[in-house]
Amino acid sequence: MGYAFTEEQEIIQQTAREFTQGCIEPVAAEIDRAAIHPQELVQSLAEQGFMGMFLPEEFDGAEAGFLCYALIVEEISKSSGAVASILNHHAAMAAYSINAWGSKEQKDQYLSAMCTGEILGTFAFAEPDAAPGVGEAKVIARKDGDSYSLNGRKCYVANGGEAGVYIVVALTDPDVGTKGMSAFLVDGDTPGLSVARTIKKMGLRGCQSAEMLFDNVKIPANNLLGAEGDGLAIVAKAQAVAGVAEGAMVVGIAQAAMDDAVKYGMQRIQFKQPIARFPAIQTMLAEMATNIHMLRLAVYHAAGLIDNDEPFTAEAAMIKLFAARIGQSALIDVVQIEGGYGYSEDMAASRFFRDIKGVITKNSSIDFPETVIAKSLLD
């Protein structure tokens, strides 16, 4: 299938494909098995320019646009959802937010280092209780002169313990609840910040998830990202951008799984013919291919909106909703086609299944995608 890509986009896509096949594919299963952050591979992503693909050239980014970034994420996800997840939390959430909301000094301090791989970034939003800012473990930032002191816990922090900078969303005005949330830049080596525990996951194992403890973490007041009270707005925009990138992840994983099922279906012989010739198998493959194609188009369209600085929040929500529906169903069909082999660790389908489920469920949005979509229609 062809798409109206520019020559630059085609070159970047091919570069990402070759890098993925040569550097990630050979170690993808081991990354999943060992569940260890692949530091050398992450540095290789930076050397390829992938860590700052859509960021400005003045900060050592490629300034190639978000569509190019989505193409890279799709290719990487075909081999390793974990590596793509590391990249997304770094670039689509942390780096994007600093570039969009940061002061000149904050951009100068962090973005170049994030593009070159010197610093890995991430977001710290979720908390152990029902929702951020409401439970006993909520992170509160109290201002004292020209500094803030942060106390509380964050959970399911991707790249937790590996990141050099965290965007931490904390309450600066507890009296008004979540409306009083603000975002802060917290360096990974700040005294009082520690990993309470590493969370073992079913999938995306190479992307470390951690519960982070904030024990009188003192940061300068100029580490405030945006203004006080901007926290939820920053989170909403970052989650929308990440939602488009996660759609690219689902496309990549589902495509790789379908390709694997097609290969198996042509090799597996039953009743003197490949099982891929059976109508029931062909129906599953046809539905899978159609859903992947439609999701891919939606991701590319939304990425183009981001590049053109047009509204994309509703489209990002549609991607999240559709990806959740078709991603898991595609993998169920892949396992069904591959039978007992698909259920075993001998085939990649098991890893694809666990990873795609993680992409769909790991980030809790401020609003359900249905709410965002409906709001765009009714306002």
DSSP strands (E only) in 221-314: 224-225, 269-270, 273-274
CA dist., res. 151 & res. 132, Å (int): 13
**Measured distance CA(155)–CA(128) in Å, rounded:** 6
Q: Are residues 281 and 361 in the same domain?
A: yes
CATH number at residue 43: 1.10.540.10
Domain shared by 163 and 219, yes or no: yes
Domain boundary among 121, 138, 173: 121
Q: Which tokens go with 169?
A: 């969303």
Check: CB of residue 242 under 8 Å from CB of residue 363: yes
- Do both 240 and 362 map to the same domain? yes
CATH of the domain at 126: 2.40.110.10
**Residue among 111, 18, 23, 92 nearest 248 (CA):** 92
285-289 contacts, C-beta under 8 A, 24 or more apart: 285/258, 285/261, 285/333, 285/337, 287/333, 288/254, 288/258, 288/261, 288/330, 288/333, 288/334, 289/258
The H or E element containing residue 250 is helix 231-267
Last residue of a domain, one of 195, 229, 263: 229
pTM: 0.94
Same domain, yes or no: 194 and 74: no
Residue count of the chain, please give it. Answer: 379
Q: Which helix (H) or strand (E) holds 103?
A: none
Q: Do residue 363 and residue 350 come from a single domain?
A: yes
Nearest to 50 by CA among 25, 96, 15, 1: 15
**pLDDT tens-place values along the chain, 379 residues long:** 457 899 999 999 999 999 999 999 999 999 999 999 999 999 999 999 999 999 999 999 999 999 999 999 999 999 999 999 999 999 999 999 999 999 999 999 999 999 999 999 999 999 887 678 777 889 999 999 999 999 999 999 999 999 999 999 999 998 887 889 999 999 999 999 999 999 999 999 999 999 999 999 999 999 999 999 999 999 999 999 999 999 999 999 999 999 999 998 988 878 888 888 999 999 999 999 999 999 999 999 999 999 999 999 999 999 999 999 999 899 999 999 988 777 777 788 999 999 999 998 865 556 688 888 998 899 8
229: helix, strand or coil: coil
Shared domain check, 169 and 129: yes
Domain boundary among 229, 262, 292: 229
166 and 261 part of one domain: no
SS3 category, 144: strand
Q: How far apart are CA 369 and CA 314, in angstroms?
A: 8
Burial class (CB in 10 A: 0-12, 13-18, 19+), 303: buried
Together in a domain, 251 and 366: yes
| 362 & 237 share domain | yes
One-letter identity of residue 339: G
Range of the domain at 113: 7-121
Whether 302 is in a domain gets the answer yes
Domain total in the chain: 3
Residues 110 and 133 in one domain: no
245 and 220 in a single domain? The answer is: no
Residue 338 lies in a domain: yes
Q: Is residue 1 part of a domain?
A: no
Pair 171, 47 in one domain:
no
